[in-house]
Structure 1
Amino acid sequence: MKRSILFDTETTGLDPATGDRVIEIAALELVGDLPTGRSYRTLIDPERDVPEEASRVHGFTEADLEGQPKFADIADAFLSFIGDDPLIAHNARFDFGFLNAELKRAGRKPLDMGRMVDTLDMARERFPGMPNSLDALCRRFGIDLSARTTHNALLDCKLLADVYVELMGGRQHGLGLVADGSHGHAVMYEAPVNRRIVRVVPTQAELEAHRAFVEDLKEAVWTAQ
Structure 2
Amino acid sequence: MRQIILDTETTGLEPSQGHRIIEFAGLEMVDRKLTGRHLHLYMHPEREIDADAERVHGISLAFLEGKPRFAEVASQISDFIGDAELIIHNAPFDVGFMDAEFARLGLPPTVRQCAGVIDTLAMARDQFPGKRNSLDALCDRFDVDRSNRTLHGALIDCELLAEVYLWMTRGQESLMMDIEPEAGAASSGLPADFVRKPLKVLRASEAEAAEHEAYLDALDKAVKGTCLWRKLAADKDVAA
TM value normalised by structure 1:
0.73
TM value normalised by structure 2:
0.69
Deviation sequence 1:26-48 (CA, Å, 0-9, x none): 00111112211110000000000
**What CA distance in whole angstroms lies between the structure 1 residues aligned with 2:88 and 2:139?**
15
Secondary structure in 2 aligned to 1:112? helix
Secondary structure in 1 aligned to 2:129? coil
Deviation sequence 1:98-143 (CA, Å, 0-9, x none): 0000001122111117711000111111111110000000000001
**What CA distance in whole angstroms lies between the structure 1 residues aligned with 2:143 and 2:34?**
19
**What CA distance in whole angstroms lies between the structure 1 residues aligned with 2:129 and 2:164?**
16
Aligned twin of 2:226: none
**What CA distance in whole angstroms lies between the structure 1 residues aligned with 2:165 and 2:31?**
12
Aligned twin of 2:58: 59
Q: Is 1:81 the equivalent of 2:80?
A: yes
Kindly report the root-mean-square deviation, in angstroms, between the aligned alpha carbons of the 2 structures: 1.8
Kindly state the Cα deviation for residue 51 of structure 1 after the two structures are TM-superposed. Answer: 1.8
Identical amino acids, percent of aligned pairs: 51
Conserved in 2, the CA contact under 8 Å of 1:34 and 1:161? no
Question: What does residue range 20-39 of structure 1 map to in structure 2 within 5 Å?
Answer: 20-39=19-38
Aligned twin of 1:134: 135
Secondary structure in 1 aligned to 2:39? strand
The number of residues matched between the two structures is 173
**What CA distance in whole angstroms lies between the structure 1 residues aligned with 2:61 and 2:110?**
28
Higher RCO by CA contacts (8 Å cutoff, separation 6 or greater):
1
**What CA distance in whole angstroms lies between the structure 2 residues aligned with 1:124 and 1:54?**
25
Secondary structure in 1 aligned to 2:110? coil
**What CA distance in whole angstroms lies between the structure 1 residues aligned with 2:133 and 2:99?**
25
Secondary structure in 1 aligned to 2:170? coil
Aligned twin of 1:116: 117
Aligned twin of 2:4: 5
**What CA distance in whole angstroms lies between the structure 2 residues aligned with 1:108 and 1:142?**
40
Letter of the 2:91 counterpart: A
**What CA distance in whole angstroms lies between the structure 2 residues aligned with 1:34 and 1:131?**
27
Kindly state the Cα deviation for residue 19 of structure 1 after the two structures are TM-superposed. Answer: 0.9
Unaligned runs of 5+ in 2: 175-201, 203-240
**What CA distance in whole angstroms lies between the structure 1 residues aligned with 2:14 and 2:51?**
16
